[in-house]
Structure 1
């Protein structure tokens, strides 16, 4: 729940259900959590999976200290970071990711992976993510693949051909 609240602070989303505490609900669209931030963070390929429990515990410790310093009373029903309002969550994350914070690298990694889950669906096949309605790729207008699952762009990305095609390039785009 704490890591969901963290990811939701990075790229906010709509509440999944009325009593959703992890998602602050400051946006009307799906955010990082629905895009699979926790799935990506837990993927062994990221290298952060073993640190998720300690980072979550540290984040809740920071939230408790932040609340005490700000004179806030936190609800005991949820973890301390989840109990913070969105603006306080964002302020705390800004402090944790600020230059000079000795823990900065860990928090920046969580931010990066929360963003990657939304922007790239890094934990999924892009074609499958688009077919399943991945919220980040859809919101960004990411093009669907051709019927064979590959992307080909008939128009040049910069509106003009940047280089002549090499004479040995095959139709699939590979050199001979």
Structure 2
């Protein structure tokens, strides 16, 4: 297998970023950003590191990202032909779609009965994972760097020693009474 060219890498990256942005939308990185639709404010899956997570070998998808981007663009060409949409040829087909059409495409690909549904759902799950848990980063590092998903969920910074402690109950109230034999360290008797 030959290594991808820089044009192929750019097409792959833009396409996968556009997919990730469709799953967890974010704001454009600049006015000329085409991969990010800018459907909302704040950072989405791309700002949260979806590409970095997907390129991590542990996902099992890293070697297939080029093929997934190619398949997504092929599906997009068929979708555009079906609806009579004219696509800007200066960017990959999926990137050329409006956010509404990107959403419709992802809906088609992840609908029960679609033969490729497991692939597209897997890709979507990893995009969510990048936003929801920063699985590719140490949590304290992600919070210190301003990870948009962890901030959106209200994950607090650790104490100065790097440990998380919750002097108040995390749910705002105790969930149960302590057992009378619980030791001061919290261990059961």
TM-score interval (norm. to shorter): over 0.9
Q: What is the root-mean-square deviation in Å for CA atoms of aligned residues?
A: 1.8
Q: 1:149 to 1:24 in 2, by over 3 A?
A: same
Q: Specify the alignment match of 1:72 in structure 2.
A: 85
- After superposition, give the CA deviation of every residue in 1:78-131 in whole Å (9 maximum; x if it has no partner): 100001110000000000000111100110011111111111111100000000
* Aligned residue-pair number: 174
Q: Specify the alignment match of 1:97 in structure 2.
A: 110
Q: Specify the alignment match of 2:10 in structure 1.
A: none
Give how far 1:169 is off: 7.9
Q: Specify the alignment match of 2:3 in structure 1.
A: none
TM-score (norm 1): 0.92
- Segments of 5+ residues of structure 1 without an aligned counterpart are none
Q: Structure 1: how far apart are the matches of 2:184 and 2:121? A: 41
Q: Specify the alignment match of 2:161 in structure 1.
A: 148
Q: 1:169 to 1:98 in 2, by over 3 A?
A: farther
TM-score (norm 2): 0.86
Name the SS of the counterpart of 1:17 in structure 2: coil
- Segments of 5+ residues of structure 2 without an aligned counterpart are 1-13
Q: Structure 2: how far apart are the matches of 1:174 and 1:116? A: 33
Q: Structure 1: how far apart are the matches of 2:158 and 2:120? A: 34
* Runs of 4+ off more than 3 Å: 165-170
Q: Structure 1: how far apart are the matches of 2:163 and 2:84? A: 55
Aligned residue runs from structure 1 range 150-169, under 5 A: 150-158=163-171, 159-162=173-176, 164=178, 167=182
Name the SS of the counterpart of 2:29 in structure 1: coil
- After superposition, give the CA deviation of every residue in 1:10-60 in whole Å (9 maximum; x if it has no partner): 111111111110000111211110110000001011111111111110000
Q: Specify the alignment match of 1:57 in structure 2.
A: 70
State yes or no: 1:35 paired with 2:21. Answer: no
Name the SS of the counterpart of 2:72 in structure 1: helix
Decide which moves more: 137-146 or 34-43: 137-146
State yes or no: 1:124 paired with 2:137. Answer: yes
